Amino acid sequence: MIKMLGKVDKRVIIALSGGVDSMFALDFLRRGGRSVLALYFDHGTYHGSDARKFVSSFCKSNNIPLVIGSLSKEMPSGMSKEAFWREERYQFFDNWNSTDYETIVDFDKSLFFNSKIITCHHLDDVVETWIFSALNGNPNLIPYKRGNFIRPFLLTSKEQILNYANLGNTGLLWLDDPSNNDTSYRRNFIRHILVPSALEVNPGLRKVIKKKVVREYDKVLTAV
């Protein structure tokens, strides 16, 4: 059973990559009766071009408004690709209503001006982040909320997402990014090498992290 963390409005914006996580979230939100604007950021990779075509075709076929952004400058020397892409991606997310970006399916932008942006981070992403940050001396969780961004699927495991995606009645389509298997990227190394070993040491690690996520979310509610 998919359980969202926090309240999700009837009109939302979703960061769409074309991968199974974000395509699951898009499908789940729309089936829940929500109006969704999708944002796609093209990182300039070979896969990015394929994913751009895929999400464009999908959104056009399903009458889902989509705004597409891409890299606006060269990567500074000494900066990692991951950090550069993240910086450029969030700049696009913060300025999606600019006329500089391509739009698929016409829509009234004003309807989404104050809408929250959903990123599709899930429980396994939180586990990876906690391990990575712990190795650097400061274990952290992916926060539920950052500015105008919310992450309602932090309690949902990757296994639950895949189970939903593979249900026959959803007809869910997605595009796998082959670079996700490249362990030269730190995130992939943690995902494919460190996490399986950590789960051997503590098979209940996801439950431990899930409790931490709930506690942190309760703090957010208390602070409001």
198: its two tokens: 């950590």
Which run of H or E residues covers position 78?
none
- Which positions ≥6 away from 97 have C-beta within 8 Å? 67, 109, 112, 113
What whole-number distance in Å separates Cα of residue 81 and Cα of residue 198?
26
Q: Which residue has the higher pLDDT, 94 or 223?
A: 94
Give the pLDDT band (50/70/90) at residue 125.
very high
pLDDT > 90? residue 187: no
pLDDT > 60? residue 224: no
Strand 102-104 to 35-42 pairing: unpaired
Residue ranges and CATH numbers for the domains of the chain are 11-123+144-180 (3.40.50.620)
pLDDT > 90? residue 53: yes
The string of pLDDT tens digits covering residues 102-119 is: 999 999 999 999 999 999
pLDDT value of position 19: 95
Of 43-57, 109-123, 168-182, the range with the lowest mean pLDDT is 168-182
Cβ of 143: how many Cβ atoms within 10 Å?
A: 16
Name the DSSP class of 5: S
For the segment 149-155, the average pLDDT, to the nearest whole number, is 97
11: its two tokens: 């009109």
* Conformation bin of residue 44: beta by default, left when phi > 0, alpha when psi is -120 to 50: left
Of 26-40, 75-89, 143-157, 207-221, the range with the lowest mean pLDDT is 75-89
Give the pLDDT band (50/70/90) at residue 23.
very high
pLDDT value of position 169: 67
pLDDT value of position 93: 93
pLDDT value of position 40: 96
pLDDT value of position 144: 95
pLDDT value of position 223: 62
Give this prediction's pTM: 0.91
pLDDT value of position 98: 86
